Structure 1
Amino acid sequence: MHDPMPSMRLTARQAMAAVSDAYTEAPPPTDPGGGSPDGPLGWHGYDDSRARARARTGEDESVVTAVATLGGTEVVLVSFEFGYLGGSLGERTGDRLVAAYALARERRLPLVSLIATGGSRMQEGMRALTQLQRVAGESARNRAAGLAQIAVLRDPTTGGGWATLGAGADVILALPGAQVGFAGSRVRPADADPYAYSAEGQLAAGHVDAVVPADEMRATLRRWVKLLGAKRTSGAAAAPAPAPSALGAGDLPATGWDAVVRARAPRRPRAEAYLRAYFDDREEIGGDRCGGVDNGIRCGFGHHDGRTIAFVAQCGTATRPAGFRTAARLVHLADRLGIPLLTLVDTPGAANDAAAERAGAGAAIADAFAALASARVPVTSLLIGEGGSGGALALAAPGRLWATPDSYFSVIAPEPAAAILKRGPQEVHHTADELRIRPQDLLELGVIRGIVPAR
């Protein structure tokens, strides 16, 4: 056992020891030797710089790779040594990273990166920069193989290290206060807001899934690799996630307006109650990776009856473009990893204000529809409250939608429907009946497969 990670300024091996139960270093690729003095550019003093870095750190390159166990789950672990030329990426760094990705594919293991780098190594010029293409290619191969990639952003995580291993990971965790950004501190504009280049700023902008305190990182990583690291039989179809039981009213509404009133009731069980009842434990992703966050949608993975289930849950608010994009991101990840998906539908509709239109509401909703329509893993959907038009339908699995007794689904809410038909407020209740939005109506119309019973 090791102490939890105490700070961001750990050596590569200290960082590995802080998060793992045990690790066995992977042998570095064979160095052909015979390289040009002072590297491919003949950069004066480069060999001396490397020798000093080696003497100072005990490492002969800026990354160390290993096979490690985290909470009993085996992973390939990559850890950067910032003390070695600022954790920069050179050709030999690229060789080690390529070998680590290949080892993960060979052993069918998730890859966890503990990143601390200033970017590409300028003493090797374009030969160093092209290592980013190699890393991106290896990452793509691991994605295609259905293997998870998790990044931990230490201080700093900038340049190509952020733009490949960091931002390209499936799950991105950051240590508090870490400098995170494509531009390092010495090259960004002088008047740039430092918050935008911090772990917290990247979280607020939807580019990081969570900022995790140092003393919690080990436990958090263990949960994530347990959720995503299970070896799955290639080609085997995952069993669908069972629909949750209803947590609210067990009787059916008498009228369409009764269904609306019950679905809108402030004390009706919402997504948090359903997630808590359904999962033994869970971890969440956040942000759409395009600069947006919607706190009205929950996405992540959890354990239910001993297996991992992915989830997307609307929380009863109007879903914003960032929410639909985050949901689509989660669906694509679950599909790639072969993990069945549960969606909880509950929204009055998609956000329709000017800000939502500028943020690409139509395109974001289209992405969510396409993600569910193309998913190869089974998707189970449960309507737990309001089903407001296309904003709700975008997260409802075609042909695999159930409903709770205290829910409704409608092409449009009764009030705007009456207004469009030039009916007065006194006719809203009648319009609700005509729309046939109750769970029993939806079942008769073939919109849902069943009404789930209460617990």
Structure 2
Amino acid sequence: MPPLSAPAPPPSGRPSPPSPSGAPPAPGRVPARAAVAALASDFAELPYPPRTERQDGPLAWAGYDDARALARGRTGETESVIAGTATVAGETAVLLSFDFRYLGGSLGERTGDRLEAAYTAARERGLPLVSLIATGGSRMQEGMRALHQLQRVAAQSVLNRAAGLPQIAVVTDPTTGGGWATLGAGADVVLALPGAQVGFAGSRVRPPDADPAAYTAEGQLAAGAVDAVVAPDLLPARLGRWLRLLTTPATGAPEPPRALGAASLPATGWDAVHRARAAGRPRAEAYLDSWFDVREPLSGDRCGGADDTVLCGFGLRAGRSIAYAAQTGTPTRPAGYRTAARLIRLADRLSVPVLTLVDTPGAANDAAAERAGAGAAIADVFAAVAAARVPVTSLVIGEGGSGGALALAAPAATWATPDSYFSVIGPEAAAAILKLPHADVPDLAGRLRLRPQDLVELGVVRGVVGGAAG
């Protein structure tokens, strides 16, 4: 069988034409069963509910039955999607797989029947749902009866979310229309094949001057709608890891990581500020790499933005899953806060505890951040942390600048490293507000009582963590 990335012939049976750039055809257009075989084993197809239909479908669209008969002959399938249980890298899931060769992978009423059966089977068996998507959208020959299937999918997705079951989408070429707006973009985790066409508007209905890059997997990643673009040969392992991460939560509150930097406490407040701002101080990436055995990133706020200075995702520690949201020492932008809130809510729904690493001089305060909704984004993180039913543990590993840092800090489970500080505001900004000369900044740092040991005395943090040996 062809690999998942191998291009399949178009519905006409003629070879796919080269792209204008001379590149090979986009990946993903393979038979539904070949796509499953490239990723999983032990596929056991689900029974599908019978449906009695009038000739040529609900609209009596002339030639519709003939078109479906041709599609059956071309694909060997009786609909544009198959569904069943399968094993991916040792993890069991319910898999949906679209066949673009069957009427462009379009959604009709019988497609909706199969999708609903898959969601129902996932709930009955307590399994995650994986969708391998290749679709052009709703089936025109069934009119609004076809479009109504999007509401069916949305309703089923809500039921699976309420049951605490994860949903993962693998979007291939193409994933457009209602299939993207429900099964794809509505999933908890969205993985995409390189070069895949991904977007709500298909290629034939976009404005003629539209930027084609916006409708690609890479464009959707940059816009915060896709979590990762994954090469086909890496997809089975990555997908299996995601299934494990989303279904094997750790129990209890995570212990804060050990300090990786300075072991001694700062003598003065200004010393604390200088140490937290030191270029060589360990940052979030080092803490995550040393603490987790393996991890996978979530990317994007699903609102058009991504902020790669906030690292979010799930990782395995001692074989169990813990979610993380980690600032990296730069001003945090609205998309970063919204991504963190998305991460915390997803972890809470899946009963996965959360670790946050606090490290920012403060929220980004430029005009672009304000236009992007900085206040609302920070408020969203405060609300997500406050509402979380799972344990949230926080560690201040560097700068803790005002509300932009506090938003990610657990109210009763925040710790600090010796080379960190936490302050109501940065000392320079405090001097500006109080109309004091810059020479007074070091003294203000002391008066703000922002050192780790001060924070313990004030009851702001639970303690100062020691190093690997302490």
What TM-score, normalized by structure 1, do the two folds share? 0.97
In 1, distance between residues paired with 2:247 and 2:62?
45
* Native 8 Å contact 2:109 2:145 kept in 1: yes
Q: CA deviation at 1:2?
A: 9.8
Q: CA deviation at 1:238?
A: 3.6
Letter of the 1:417 counterpart: A
1:247 counterpart (235, 260, 266): 260
3-state SS of the aligned residue for 2:56? coil
1:10-409 counterparts in 2 under 5 A?
10-29=30-49, 31-33=50-52, 35-230=53-248, 238-409=251-422
In 2, distance between residues paired with 1:151 and 1:355?
31
Provide the aligned C-alpha RMSD in A: 1.3
Q: CA deviation at 1:22?
A: 2.7
Deviates more, 1:417-426 or 1:41-50: 417-426
Letter of the 1:269 counterpart: P
Q: Deviations over 1:96-135 (max 9, x none)?
A: 0000000000111100000000000010011100000000
Aligned to 1:420: 433
3-state SS of the aligned residue for 2:466? coil
* Native 8 Å contact 2:133 2:169 kept in 1: yes
Q: Deviations over 1:276-301 (max 9, x none)?
A: 00000000010111111111100000
Q: Deviations over 1:34-92 (max 9, x none)?
A: x2100010000000000000000000000000101111110000000111100000000
Q: Deviations over 1:228-265 (max 9, x none)?
A: 133x7xxxx94111110000001000000000000000
Deviates more, 1:36-45 or 1:184-193: 184-193
Q: Deviations over 1:203-249 (max 9, x none)?
A: 1111111111111111110110111133x7xxxx9411111000000
* Native 8 Å contact 1:342 1:379 kept in 2: yes
In 2, distance between residues paired with 1:218 and 1:4?
10
* Native 8 Å contact 2:428 2:441 kept in 1: yes
3-state SS of the aligned residue for 2:305? coil
* Native 8 Å contact 1:5 1:217 kept in 2: no
Q: Deviations over 1:136-194 (max 9, x none)?
A: 00001101110000000010000000000000000001011111111111111111111
In 1, distance between residues paired with 2:326 and 2:81?
39
In 1, distance between residues paired with 2:247 and 2:226?
20
| Structure 1, unpaired ranges of 5+ | none
Distance verdict in 2 for CA 1:28–1:220, change over 3 Å: same
In 2, distance between residues paired with 1:365 and 1:97?
37
| Aligned structure 1 segments of 4 or more residues deviating by more than 2 angstroms | 1-7
Q: Deviations over 1:262-281 (max 9, x none)?
A: 00000000000000000000
In 1, distance between residues paired with 2:100 and 2:294?
34
Letter of the 1:320 counterpart: R
| Structure 2, unpaired ranges of 5+ | 7-26
In 2, distance between residues paired with 1:101 and 1:280?
32
In 2, distance between residues paired with 1:238 and 1:408?
30
3-state SS of the aligned residue for 1:451? coil
Letter of the 1:404 counterpart: T
In 1, distance between residues paired with 2:318 and 2:255?
10
3-state SS of the aligned residue for 2:256? coil
Letter of the 1:308 counterpart: S
Letter of the 1:14 counterpart: A
